[in-house]
Amino acid sequence: MSTEAKPAEATTEVKTESKLVITSDVPVSQKLTDFFDAQLADTHNKFCIDCKTKESTHFLVWLSCYTCKDCAEQHRTAVGGNNKCYVKELFNEHWDDYQLKSA
């Protein structure tokens, strides 16, 4: 009787290099564009909630409402910077799940 000694298999480690992804370099997905196209098809979303005259191009995440660029800028400066008030552009920015939930 011979017991076969199994050769120790060399585990090939798959090294996944964690590269820092700069999201602004990644093209915005078609899905996202389609989503906002659909959102803006709704007349409640199509026009700015503030001035009600211009078409929406931005979104205020903390208020979950659509605004035009000018009103978005006003909100941005009124609150004191983008970090605090979370103004997003609809078509040129990436969105995470949390932000999309409020849309």
Binding residues for Zn ion, rule: CB under 5 A, are 48, 50-51, 54, 68, 71
Least distance CB 95 / Zn ion (angstroms): 21
Please, which residue, 57 or 95, has the CB nearer to Zn ion?
57
- Measured from the CB of residue 94, what is the shortest distance to Zn ion in angstroms? 23
Among residues 8 and 78, whose Cβ is nearest to Zn ion? 78
Indicate the residue among 48 and 95 with the shorter CB distance to Zn ion. Answer: 48
Select 22 or 76, whichever has its Cβ closest to Zn ion. Answer: 76
Give CA 5 to chain center in angstroms: 54
Query: Smallest gap, in angstroms, from Cβ of residue 28 to Zn ion?
Result: 23
Q: How far is the CB of 29 from Zn ion (least distance, A)?
A: 27
Q: How far is the C-alpha of 65 from the C-alpha of 54, rounded, in Å?
A: 14
